[in-house]
Copies of this chain bind each other. A is one copy, B any other.
Amino acid sequence: MYERLKGFRDFYPGEMRARRETIDTLESAAQRYGFREVGTPALERTEMYVDKSGEEIVDELYAFTDQGGRDVAMTPELTPTVARMVVAKQQELSKPIKWYSTRPFWRYEEPQSGRFREFYQTNVDIFGSSEPEADAEVLAVVGDALTDMGLSGEDFEFRVSHRDILSSLLGSFDADVDTKQAIRAVDKSQKVSEAEYHDLLHDAGLSYDQAAQFDDLLQSSEDDLDELVEFGGEDVEAAVTNLRDVLAATEDFGVREFCTVSLTTARGLDYYTGVVFECFDSTGEVGRSVFGGGRYDDLIESFGGQPTPAVGVAPGHSTLPLLLQRAGVWPEEELRTDYYVLTVGDTRDVAADIARELRAEGHTVESDVAGRSFGGQLDYADSINAETVVIVGERDLEEGNVTVKDMDTGDQVQVPVEEFPGAHDEPRYTDFE
């Protein structure tokens, strides 16, 4: 007997059905906004990640040397891959480029609740627009998807921040600040004590007084943004204006109610620029960010492409279920079957005809493929939650009948075989009782 690898998961049909419904809902929202599906490789050259994140990233990757001597890595995220794809066809692709895809990624991390070594994400990205409508459209897609899943504005919030507000504020201090390091400190602020947080800011170049003042500034709500402009001057003003423009667009796009300004939201990855955001469980029961996204205007150029602004979001299918379960809207992990066509005696030909006619209407129809008895077939029909069982018995057939049984009530009725399904698209017990 072989063991599954730690941090990897097998999804059996019940759980998979719930996951598929969630993925379909998310992809359907992206499709309605005109995002197009792309397909991407599971392996890329390791250097793509090292160039972007430094040699230490390799410890978190499933990286190895292939049979041809290439250093390769199982993709830990989609963004570098789609950036590579945009660069490869930047002349022929009409902009804005709007892409989505759902697939697994891999990181060698310690597994914990909602974190696995193999994890699935739906990535939704727009390339080629720096306009606030692009940021807002990405928020609209995930806002629509979450409400389609049954969540309301009481259940979740998008905490929206702006990298340029953070960096401009940092630049206003009389100090030699490592901006990226300081922003990483902000990203960690919710997970460490205040003292540790201030230590991290101090390490990034602020004095402890400045760290406290910076922390204080980041507590500003949307109403206090003008005070930040007063403190930081025109760079902050430009960033605040952009943030307000994005929020105004979310108003028009119908998802403003989900957005809260939260400057302590920073996102961990270095490549973000401009607006960034994270989705949180409003009740706090899911204690971590459910997913996040933001602008990354410089990445395509750093990959050797023409300057191409970009913004995206990547809901993950490890944390999203935690939010949906908390809110009581996780889809039922149960099989659904429209019909089971049960054979008694030598009736396979008639049963198969009925099954084919029902399938032609798009129904899920099972019939015996295992030589089971009457009782065995009925138990199996029950185990797959068949709504209706059609009993095709030799003796019934001699009189030209089949029996239609409602599995919920147990009621059953004899029906002439030529009337089942006959002209009915979806024949049920109640059509014949």
Contact = CB atoms under 8 A, between A and B. Distances in A.
Interface of A: 1-6, 8-13, 16-17, 19-20, 31-34, 36-45, 47-48, 59, 62, 64-68, 70, 72, 74, 80-81, 84-85, 87-89, 93-96, 98-99, 104, 106, 108, 118, 126, 128-129, 131, 133-134, 136-137, 144, 249, 252-254, 303-305, 335, 337, 348-349, 352, 356, 359, 362-371, 379-380, 383-384
B12 A89 contact: yes
Contact of A9 (B19, B39, B80, B335): B39
A309 to B, nearest CB: 9
Nearest to A309: B370
A253 B349 CA distance: 8
Contacts of A12: 38, 85, 89, 93
A9 B41 contact: yes
Main secondary structure of the interface of A (DSSP, over half): mixed
Contacts of A48: 2
B365 A32 contact: yes
Nearest to A382: B94
A109 to B, nearest CB: 10
Given A32-B359, A39-B16, A369 B96 contact: yes
Copy number in this complex?
2
B1 A134 contact: no
Contacts of A68: 6, 108
Nearest to A6: B68
A318 to B, nearest CB: 12
Given A13-B37, A304-B1, A369 B129 contact: yes
Nearest to A95: B370
A128 B96 contact: no
Given A39-B11, A62-B66, A32 B369 contact: no
Contacts of A348: 133, 249, 252
A84 B347 CA distance: 35
Given A33-B359, A37-B17, A44 B2 contact: yes
Given A1-B87, A44-B2, A94-B380, A37 B59 contact: no
Contacts of A37: 13, 16-17, 20
Given A5-B70, A36-B16, A252-B349, A126 B369 contact: yes
A296 B129 CA distance: 53
Chain B CB within 10 A, most for which of A32, A118, A128, A133: A32
15 contacts: A1-B84, A1-B305, A4-B88, A8-B41, A8-B42, A33-B365, A43-B62, A74-B74, A94-B384, A96-B369, A129-B369, A129-B370, A129-B371, A134-B369, A134-B370
